[in-house]
Structure 1
Amino acid sequence: MSILSGEDQIHWLQAPANASVAKYVQCYWLIEKRPDIHTYSYPKLNPDPAAHLIISPSDQAYRHDTCSGSTTGAGSHWLYPHQNTFELDHSQPFIHLGIKFHIGALYSLPECSGNTPRLDEVAQIQGTTLLSEREINQDVLIALARKEAKLCCDQLDALLMPWFEECTEDQHSKITCKALHQLDDSIISSLGQQLHCSQRTLERSFQRVTGLTLKQCQSMNKLEAMLEYLYQRSSAELDWVEIALKFGFSDQPHLIRYLKKQLGFTPKTYEKQRGLTIDVYGGVSSISS
């Protein structure tokens, strides 16, 4: 278990203990902003190919802004895979308990099976099997998450198991799973040959399961790895030419264009305002006060 705590937040992240649950869930996480703490109020959430089920108090408001508009609501909600960077409203105290699914995992869930994957959406939970039929008491779970992370994760494992027992996997989900294990270390054009299928079959199955192309998913994974690398180092340690080469960019200008497109700012801006970019939802955490 990884626990990050500071004056501005309580944040823990833990993988499921149950192997059957871990097949579909990457991790559980908690983040909280207390009333007596003042932090950066509008952090950014990195693009993410994974879906999250976010459990929150029913009267707690949320807001996600992109260049194309805003999504607002209250209580528990889905955060679907998103290629865009979201700006979050953290101006008020809040708490989120999250379930981060593996990429493409929703495809196998009974209530999602056969549906076109949803992308770049935040949606209020309405009639979700997990919360309705399993009779999850959100307030009890959140209180437990605050007090004892391991017990909360064990409870989530127990609640999720009946849900995942109903999952079905077809040839599309199986080939996508194999592709995901090799995607970050492979040349996309040769991946079909490595998996003993045609490249066209692989591309079609992958997009059917995840909603993303292989290239889009690989790019988001690379961005996450790069931001984690940057977060772990001080400004004095950052050599942007070296970083560009390390993460497969042809040169520093290529890296600058990429960051501006994905996140809306240059490397120099990142050095000055690291708190602008976060993935608190089961990934890199770098909230600055």
Structure 2
Amino acid sequence: MRRLLAAAAAAAVLLSACGDDAQDRAPADPTTTTESTATATTTEIADEAPTSAAPTTVTPTSASAETTTAEPAPEAAPAPTTAAPARPAVTACDDDGLSQDILGFPGGVSVDFCEDGWAFAAYPNAPGAPEFIAEQVDGRWFHAVAMGDPVCQDDLSARGAPAAVSKLLPPCVDAPAPTAGPTGSPTDPVAACVVSTKEYGDTHADLVAVTCDGARAEWGLAEANTEPSWTIPWVTPTGWECFVTPYDATSKAAGSCYGPDGTAYFTLYLP
């Protein structure tokens, strides 16, 4: 009997313990439950609402760069270039070269020899075939001195002539004296032709195939339109080439002029 009562009491105790365990069991860990709930809630919000991320700066891109192709910049126009001035053609030192430059046509000059831009030549078709010395200036030939002009060796050397050309003239101490020339009419008596010059005053003209009035006219045009020069002649409107001598206290002539065909010329001697 005691055993039955003891067993019943033990069973009652066990039943009572089970009921209390079911009622009095501690709830689940609130921290774990809260975190799980927060995580689930955060995940749902993330799926439904846009993420509020830290602001970032986005560099705008050029619409033209995305939609159009940039045209290449126009090439700069090349800088204008200044063409170098054409050098004058150098005329050959031969018969036709001198004739074309001095007379304006070929066949009127016969060249004896040339040296360093100077030539000794003659006009074979003119009366007496007068000889002369020519000089080349800027590639062109000019009648420089007629043989018999009052120009001596030192004068020509000072103008740059080589010794082989200068020696064709008389030494300066032996320069020819001025001579009288014919006047306008063949019947007039021989008299000195006086031509007034700016640089040297009155001069006496030695005339060859030209009248005194003609010489004055050509000289007046030349002296009024050109600067004095040993080497550069001035061509008058009628084709005469005139050298106006720069002032020199030792000069024996004020200048000279030569006709277009080489047969007429005159020199102005100092008194």
TM-score normalised to the size of structure 2? Answer: 0.25
**Bigger share in helix:** 1
Q: Mark the structure with the bigger radius of gyration.
A: 2
